[in-house]
């Protein structure tokens, strides 16, 4: 397995993985949004590839000099429980350390306790505040 920067040809596989997991959003996960992220920094989307197949990905968004967010971590259902997500997270952490970030945050679906447990196992802690995500079209 290799972890590398996103290429436009990866889009369909990432979108399919997100759709299969029920997490696809046409705005957040639209190809134009992905392209704008990598235009800012080619390493803003990291992709895991096995034998030429895109099997996982994560989006990175640096928020100022010290903080960053990870979004949309996904691994193809057929490749889960093989350590791929952990390797993607570590690659993202390495990328963010190289950029000088001191902390990283992510959003996890509170209705999926297995995800919360997974992220706790990776050293993430839950904040004291309970937030509800809200957005609107412009």
Per-residue pLDDT of 18-47, as tens digits, reads 999 888 999 989 999 999 999 999 999 999
**Percent of the chain residues topping a pLDDT of 90:** 75
Token pair for 79:
């490749």
Token pair for 35:
């392209």
pLDDT for residue 136 is more than 70: no
2-121 belongs to CATH 3.40.630.30: yes
pTM value is 0.90
Task: Report domain extents, the chain.
Answer: 2-121
- Per-residue model confidence (pLDDT) at position 137: 60
Helices and strands of the chain, counted as H and E runs: 4, 5
């Amino acid at each position: 397995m290799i972890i590398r920067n996103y290429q436009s040809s990866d889009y369909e596989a990432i979108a399919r993985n997100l759709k299969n997991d029920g997490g696809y959003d046409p705005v957040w996960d639209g190809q134009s949004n992905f392209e704008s992220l990598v235009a800012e920094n080619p390493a803003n989307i990291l992709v895991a590839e096995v034998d030429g197949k895109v099997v996982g990905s994560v989006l990175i968004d640096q928020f100022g000099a010290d903080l960053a967010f990870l979004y949309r971590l996904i691994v193809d259902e057929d490749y889960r429980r093989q350590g791929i997500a952990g390797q993607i997270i570590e690659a993202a952490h390495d990328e963010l350390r190289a950029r000088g970030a001191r902390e990283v945050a992510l959003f996890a679906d509170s209705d999926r306790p297995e995800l919360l447990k997974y992220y706790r196992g990776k050293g993430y802690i839950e904040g004291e505040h309970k937030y509800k995500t809200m957005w609107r079209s412009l």
